[in-house]
Amino acid sequence: MDRLRRLLETMQEQGTARGNLRGLFRLLIARRISLADGTAVSGGLTWREVAALLKRVRWDREAVRDIGLDPDALPPRDRQRFWYVAISQAGVDTPQAAADAERLVAPLTGLGYVVAPPAAPRPSDSS
């Protein structure tokens, strides 16, 4: 988790995710991230884990405006709940979120990270 925290701190410093919060959510939830040498950084997180991580790194609350949310309309005192509600309303399972996440791959590569392609959808069990 320390490597992942370092990644987010670097993204904050560089402004890598500025204007692309939905993509950041999708990337943290649905993609594997590693260092260039193959060291694992993240294998994909739950919404709750993403919310806790954003709370820990003190991600700017105003960033939710990127996804059309008003930070004052989200839970004000519990920062982890704030982020969880934001994730739940962000539409992280949409094609737009997938495209937003893809836009973060090149900047992360420039920072020395490798982002695995999205996993192939599982075949339906409706046979």
Residue 118 pLDDT = 80
Residue 39 included in any domain:
yes
Instruction: Give me the mean pLDDT over the 18-24 stretch.
Output: 95
Instruction: Give me the mean pLDDT over the 85-114 stretch.
Output: 94
Which tokens belong to 77? 């005192």
**Model confidence at 30, in pLDDT bands (50, 70, 90)?**
very high
Residue 48 pLDDT = 96
Count of structural domains, the chain: 1
What is the domain extent for residue 21? Answer: 2-115
**Model confidence at 76, in pLDDT bands (50, 70, 90)?**
confident
Residue 124 included in any domain:
no
Residue 111 included in any domain:
yes
Residue 122 included in any domain:
no
Instruction: Give me the mean pLDDT over the 77-97 stretch.
Output: 94
Residue 101 included in any domain:
yes
Residue 88 included in any domain:
yes
Residue 127 pLDDT = 46
Q: Which of the two residues, 76 and 61, has the higher pLDDT score? A: 61
Instruction: Give me the mean pLDDT over the 87-111 stretch.
Output: 94
Instruction: Give me the mean pLDDT over the 76-92 stretch.
Output: 94
Cα separations in angstroms, 22 against 97, 115, 125, 127 = 6, 16, 30, 34
Residue 127 included in any domain:
no
Distance (Å, rounded) from C-alpha 28 to C-alpha 23? 9
Residue 120 included in any domain:
no
